[in-house]
Amino acid sequence: MLAFEALTLRKKLVHFDITLVGRNEIDHAFRLAREAIVSHIRLPEETKTGKKIVETCVICMEDKAVSNMFMIDGCLHRYCFSCMKQHVEVKLLNGKIAQCPHENCNSEVPLESCKSLLEPKFVDIVIQRLKEAALPPTEKVYCPYPRCSALMSKKEVMDSSANYLNDPKLVGMSKCTKCRKRFCRKCMVPWHRNMRCKYYQRCTAYIYRCAEDRKLKFLAKQKHWRQCVKCSNKIELAEGCNHIYCRCGYELCYTCGPEWKNKKVMCSCPLWSERNIIRR
């Protein structure tokens, strides 16, 4: 399709010179060429003979009408709407921002473009993922209430705590910016009233634990979840190897918990578990 567009554009030129381009300039020249082609050519849906102009989607390898092709703004690669919709949704469900599926292309699919592809619930996920990507891992705080789990920055958390900083009984207390429920920003659990953080963390008797925390701990034990030592959020391994990434960027061994350093394991646990290799 690109060759056809280039040939059409060439026929419109009165004069042109062929110039050799250095290897390190090829990508830049190719991008400029695509931009020039797209800005000068508007292919009609039908030719003069009434035959529809189609373009082959390189993902599904099906011929699609040019109006059914989606172009990524940053790189100008084109795929059919159906394939791009599925690609973006899969990435979002795996906690990632969708990038161009073309090999070695890192262009992100813009939010405005996603709105034309996705249902509103997925657009909300895109907004959440963009906020996550914009915050450094050490600045991310998630609401500990399971029905909320809203993402906040440490600054937002501290701003919500401004009214409680001078009250010794409320040291460490913050409010979620979304659900407005109180939680302890040190323990990252629902607010433990009338109990200091040090005592709360040492206490093992369920009678002193709030109902939400008891349910969460029981579920974590039942599901074999791990707690990230960096951001204190729970992590679940559904399938795959035991080398796992937390959404804050921390890498760890899911079996015993220690950090992976420089892409190397720091323990002697097996990398694979048979029950996680095969989907149940």
Residues noted as catalytic: 241
Q: Give me the residues paired with residue 184 across strands.
A: 173, 189
Give the integer Cα–Cα distance in Å for 91 and 266: 29
How far apart CA 83 and CA 68 sit, in angstroms, is 11
What residue spans of the chain are helical by DSSP H? Answer: 2-12, 26-40, 81-93, 111-115, 120-134, 154-160, 197-202, 211-223, 274-277
Can you read off the two tokens belonging to residue 214? 């008891």
Helix, strand, coil percent values for the chain (each to nearest 5): 40, 15, 45
3-class SS at 204? coil
Residue 69's beta-bridge partner residues?
80
